[in-house]
Structure 1
Amino acid sequence: MEWVLLMSIGLVAGTIGSLIGLGGGVIIVPAILYFGSMAMLLDLSPQQAVGTSLIIMIFTGLSSTLAYMKYKTVDYKSGWIFFIGSGPGGIAGAYVNRILNMESFQVYFGIFMIITALILMFRSKVKPLPAAGKGGIQRIFTEKNGQQLTYSFQPSQAILIAFLIGFLSGIFGIGGGSLLVPAMILLFAFPPHVAVATSMFIIFLSAIISSLTHVAFGHVVWLYALALIPGAWIGAKAGAYLNTKLKSKALVSLLRIILIIIGIRLIYQGLA
């Protein structure tokens, strides 16, 4: 029964995570802790849930990236630049994870996710950060209908933001996509489809670094990881396919709804 439940959690997390670029950790960590409290799974510590989740993020990120490669929506150059910040941030977050009161941080993080969702409601009124000047990177993406979208960013700004997101990812085991995708869309005007696909590529790279740190701390429950991986891998493929069928506006709307639901769940988890 435990294996069926874990595979189901992995499938749902992989599908939603790949579809919206979250990575799936925002589903896995609360689910493991919740079902553990209901005696349906082992009662893991937050650190074990985070460490195990980050192992799954490697496979979710890889599966999604391989799928998005076929649709040519992954911006590899930008992804590597963001990873320069998110990689070290993930290591720092993994270290802090050992000493923080996770219940309090779940509340704060849940509130932040809801605020992020509300900001996305007014994203048309938010002007992206300027990328003009020396060192600015400008990219062009062509939609299926032939429309060309331009987005740009300063590497220094991207690295700093990615470090902060990687830091939170290392603490909560969420992959970081719940913050990275809105940041890409709001601050740098990434097209939603490109933001999601590139986010999964960055999550794949960052999860390798963060998970190695948690492995060193003994935070990974390997039997649970093995049960979660198959569902997460299949779900990530399905989510990537569904992503190509949705319009950009629908994708952003779905992202807002998911962020609010997860934010409320995290607040509840922290106060319970």
Structure 2
Amino acid sequence: MAQDSFLWDLPTLLILFALGLVASTFGAVVGLGGGVIIIPALLLLGPSMLGMDIDTTLAVGVSLGVLVFTSLTSTITFYREGKTDLRCALFFSISSGPMSVVGAGLTSLFEPDVFRRAFGFFMLFMVVLLLLRSRIKPFRGTWRYTKLYVDGNGEQLEYGYSMLPALTIGGIVGLISGLLGIGGGVLLIPAMVLLFRFPPHIATATSMSVILVSALFGSGMHLYRGEWDWQLVLPLAPGALIGGYAGAIISRKIGSKLLIRIMCAALALFAIRMIWT
């Protein structure tokens, strides 16, 4: 498109690369994906820097496309470190993939304001639960699948899950991912930590694997509907590839307590943006 030729000038390319790098690094560290940064940045930069109006559906489509690159490199890195629970990720992904297509199809039809605010308040509630998790009695129900994880201090941590709860949560995560373009980790990680008792590092790694599937399905739907722009995706993608890898490496060096605090701060900022935007 001739009117979009400005996207290929060097300063704009560097800004988009930096945006992809920062958003994806942060997103991979906490397992949220980075869409929480990319979408508002595109909406803000569109008129002022790119000379084009970027509507919500286009921003969501581009964000999901970038999430594919972020989650790909972080998933590979986390898997090599043995932090990804592939069986659990599969259960979540079976439902999250198809439901992300549904969410992507609803983006242009659904009036998102009320939903965004309600979801923002729900996320603030999740933040409170995460911060108070040490004072809350963990769920002691019997899960079909249980695993042991030994953390950096040598402490053994047991977590578990069953197919039906994982499929149910995965479907909700996929719907939110396709609808809002945020990856779904904002709901998936609190559910893993609070309900299934996942260690934070395993929750982060597994979340990125689920985000990869949701982003593939959701971005495919947005591409099919024409809610896509390669001239935005391609400059963002290299930074996302590097950021996904860098975020996974940084996450490895962060203790569980600090990781939870970073997650809570990220979720709180995201929730406030959802409520007030």
Q: Same fold (TM over 0.5)?
A: yes
Q: Which runs of 5+ in 1 are unaligned?
A: none
Please show how residues 24-173 of structure 1 align to structure 2 within 5 Å: 24-40=34-50, 42-132=52-142, 136-173=144-181
After the TM superposition, which of the residue ranges 37-46 and 165-174 deviates more from structure 2? Answer: 37-46
Partner of residue 12, structure 1: 22
In 2, distance between residues paired with 1:41 and 1:117? 37
SS at match of 1:22: coil
Range with greater deviation from structure 2 (111-120 or 77-86): 111-120
Q: Tell me, yes or no, if the aligned pair for 1:169 and 1:175 is still in contact at 8 Å.
A: yes
C-alpha distance in 2, partners of 1:94/1:5?
27
Cα contact 1:63–1:236 (8 A) shared by 2: yes
Letter in 1 for 2:79: M
Larger deviation: 105-114 or 211-220?
A: 105-114
The answer on whether the counterparts of 2:178 and 2:214 sit within 8 Å (CA) in structure 1 is no
**1:21 maps onto 2:26 in alignment:** no
CA RMSD of aligned residues (A): 1.6
Amino acid corresponding to residue 12 of structure 1 in structure 2: V
Alignment of 1:175-194 (within 5 A): 175-194=183-202
Indicate conservation of the 8 Å contact 2:67/2:212, yes or no: yes
- CA distance in 1 between counterparts of 2:273 and 2:40 reads 8
Q: Any idea what SS the aligned residue of 2:195 has?
A: helix
The percent identity for this pair of structures is 39
Counterpart CA distance in 1 for 2:111 and 2:42 is: 18
Deviation for aligned residue 1:131: 4.8
Distance 1:183 1:124 in 2: 15
Rounded Cα–Cα distance in structure 2 between residues aligned with 1:76 and 1:86: 14
Tell me whether 1:251 sits opposite 2:259 in the alignment: yes
**TM-score normalized with structure 1 length:** 0.93
Q: Which moved more, 1:253-262 or 1:112-121?
A: 112-121
In structure 1, C-alpha distance between the alignment counterparts of 2:51 and 2:137, rounded to whole Å: 46
Distance between the aligned counterparts of 1:116 and 1:40, measured in 2? 36
Unaligned runs of 5+ in 2: 1-10
Deviation (angstroms), 1:116: 2.0
Shift of 1:125: 3.6
Report deviation, 1:252: 0.4
Whole-angstrom distance in 1 between the partners of 2:268 and 2:240 = 22
In 1, Cα distance between the equivalents of 2:207 and 2:219?
Answer: 17
Name the CA distance, whole Å, in 2 between partners of 1:132 and 1:99.
40
The count of residues paired between Structure 1 and Structure 2 equals 267
Please report the TM-score for the alignment, with normalisation by the length of structure 2.
0.91
Instruction: State the partner residue of 2:223.
Output: 215
